[in-house]
Amino acid sequence: MTRTPEIGLIGLGTMGANLALNIAEAGHVIAVFNRTSDRTRRFVEGAGPLADRIVPAETLNAFVDGLARPRRILLMVPAGAPVDEQIAALRPLLDTGDILIDGGNSDWQDSAARAESLQRDGLGYLGLGVSGGAEGARHGPSMMAGGAPEAYAAVGPILDDIAARFDATPCVAWLGHGGAGHFVKAVHNGIEYADMQMIAEVYGLMRDGQRRPDAEIAQVFGRWNAGPLESYLIEITAEVAGTTDPETGKPILSLIRDRAGQKGTGRWTVMDAQRRAAPLPAVEAAVTARVLSGEDAWRSAGARLFPQPKRAIALPDDNFERALLAGKILAYSQGFALLARAARDEGWDMSLAMVAQIWRAGCIIRSGLLDEMADALAQDGPDSLLAFAPGFARRLQDGVPALRRVVAEATLAGVPVPALSAALGHFDQLRQARGTANLIQGLRDRFGAHGFERLDRPGETGLHGPWGDA
């Protein structure tokens, strides 16, 4: 006999459908609703034995009325206006204490506004970042929750049951009020952009700078996945690079157009970092590279006007491996520094170590390094850079010379490595106790009387140079 649904889900696209099956497989009865009834029926028909725990609804009223109280409703609809429209449709049907959970890639500021608005009506709200793609949604994602803690307490047991696990620990956590969960998911995606861009740059160095076939490159990435670079993205890079197109017999990568899409989370992360004056150069470079990948006409014209230098890159694979590892550490360090800045600005009681822990399994950027990162972040203060933690500082001391060689050789050969270059530039700025901003301040004072501080007169501000007397 079918029990009363413990939770409801709206939106049976790929992610929503897989999460619904995951919830049912974990032993929970779930109600499902989609704006097109045909999709709802097809979903239940294809659910096999799990259909006994899935209660379909053809109208929104029937869906809401059938849920156990307090109602817990997971929204899996496109970010932006569709979320607001769905909330507006649900609002008159809900009672005090009911909870809405937005599991899409919403802007964290939208989530914060929704949480505040719904709270005024006595309704709970969670902004739930879900990472892991379709496979993760089906078999265990990493989830980042933000919103009212009492709402999380009501939903948490179900989320624990469906989350990915690392050493039996669920990869899900409440990270703060308002939009904290979706903010952490955006930073996760920003790091993902940088990670993928650096991997693609190393692939390009081997393909264009060393004329190596995709199958051979795949083997290299496969070897790396058994070492310090072990991660989901390195694993699937080896898979993708080694795949042959069944129709033509050619490497699949030789047939894929070099134009990368994006859904906006990387841009949001960069924009927020700029607003907070938090350095995020590796992610910025990766976002810019994706934008430029779409400018086919410019790139074709540039290839005709400015032919690439005919210079081979004579570097061993271990240089690429160490360079990629150094770049990865610097990108993560930048991302965690942004999270620390945002947590302080927004008053989120967020544990960076917990963020690293819930990223250890299920999510796209899961990596063998994250367990070590969680330990380092737990030991250091919130304002400490991950790059300065002893274990990662040692890795950078070993890897940055290789990163420097790779960037130098790529530059001389005319092979673009914008994210690796940005990571190296960031590292060099971090270790420069006295930089060149003194000249910038002098120039700003000369043309705009903006003032400066002097090393020989500490504590005094708004000082000016003798430009007017010249």
CATH of the domain at 447: 1.20.5
Identify the band that residue 2 occupies on the pLDDT scale cut at 50, 70 and 90: low
Tens of pLDDT, residues 116-159: 999 999 999 999 999 999 999 999 999 999 999 999 999 999 99
**Mean pLDDT in the chain?**
94
**Listed residues 126, 153, 178: the one ending a domain:** 178
Residue 455, Cα to own-chain centre: how many angstroms? Answer: 40
Does 190 show up as a binding residue in the annotation? no
**Of residues 6, 58, 185, 250, which has the active-site annotation?**
185
Q: In the annotation, is 25 catalytic? A: no
Give the containing element (helix H, strand E) for 272: helix 265-275
Is 195 in the same domain as 48? no
In this prediction, residue 228 carries a pLDDT of: 96
What's the domain count of the chain?
A: 3
Residue 304 DSSP class = H
For residue 1, pLDDT beyond 70: no
Does 426 show up as a binding residue in the annotation? no
In this prediction, residue 469 carries a pLDDT of: 58
For residue 298, give every residue at least 6 positions away whose Cβ sits within 8 Å of its Cβ, in sequence order, or none. 292
Does 55 show up as a binding residue in the annotation? no
Domain with 170, as residue range(s), is: 7-178
Identify the band that residue 382 occupies on the pLDDT scale cut at 50, 70 and 90: low
Question: DSSP letter string over 202-253?
Answer: HHHHHHHSS---HHHHHHHHHHHTTTTT-BHHHHHHHHHHTPBPTTTSSBGG
Asked if residues 124 and 150 have their Cβ atoms less than 8 Å apart, the reply is yes
Tens of pLDDT, residues 279-318: 999 999 999 999 998 889 999 999 999 988 878 899 999 9
Query: Domain for residue 360, yes or no?
Result: yes
For residue 470, pLDDT beyond 50: no
Tens of pLDDT, residues 216-227: 999 999 999 999
Give the containing element (helix H, strand E) for 116: helix 108-120
Is 269 in the same domain as 399? yes
Query: Domain for residue 2, yes or no?
Result: no
Q: In the annotation, is 192 catalytic? A: yes
Query: Domain for residue 206, yes or no?
Result: yes
In this prediction, residue 3 carries a pLDDT of: 82
For residue 266, pLDDT beyond 90: no
Does 13 show up as a binding residue in the annotation? yes
Does 341 show up as a binding residue in the annotation? no
**Of residues 25, 116, 150, 192, which has the active-site annotation?**
192
For residue 263, pLDDT beyond 60: yes
Tens of pLDDT, residues 7-32: 999 999 999 999 999 999 999 999 99
